[in-house]
Amino acid sequence: MINAFLVNEFGERIRELRIEKNLSQEALSFITGFHRTYIGMIERGERNISLTNMAVFAKVFEMSISELLDFSSINPKHNYKNYETKSEE
C-alpha cells in the first residue's frame, strides 16, 4: 500500500487520542458512528480513511484536522519525506 507509513502513523495517533480520552474502541465507535472493527482497523493501519472521516475524528477529539495530523507526539522525528508519491511506487 502506498504510504503505509502515513496510514500507520495516523492509526497510532487515533489510538493515542482515544486512550488520552479514556475511551474504549467501542465507546469511540458509539461517539463517531463508525463500527468498532473499523476503528480497530484504522488503529492498526489497515484502513486509509477519507478526509470526511478524519473530520469526524477531529470533531470528537475537539481539534482541527491539522492538529489531528500532527504526529509529533507519537514520533518526534516525524518527517514528511517518508511519504511516497505515485511515481515512486
Residue 78 lies in a domain: no
CA 70 remoteness from chain centre: 10
Task: Kindly list the distances between the CA atom of residue 68 and the CA atoms of 4, 18, 87, in Å, as whole numbers in the listed order.
Answer: 18, 12, 27
**Count of domains forming the chain:** 1
Residue 54 lies in a domain: yes
Residue 14 lies in a domain: yes
Using the CB atoms, write b or e for 48-58: b if 16+ within 10 Å. ebeeeeeeebb
Residue 84 lies in a domain: no
Which strand (E) or helix (H) includes residue 37? helix 36-43
Residues 6+ apart with CB under 8 A from 7: 1, 45, 46, 47, 48
Residue 31 lies in a domain: yes
pLDDT tens digit sequence for 11-65: 999 999 999 999 999 999 999 999 999 999 999 999 999 999 999 999 999 999 9
Q: Determine the straight-line distance between the first and last CA of the chain, rounded to whole angstroms.
A: 9
Range of the domain at 16: 4-70
pTM, two decimals, is: 0.83
Q: What is the CATH number of the domain that holds 36?
A: 1.10.260.40
Residue 56 lies in a domain: yes
Residue 15 lies in a domain: yes
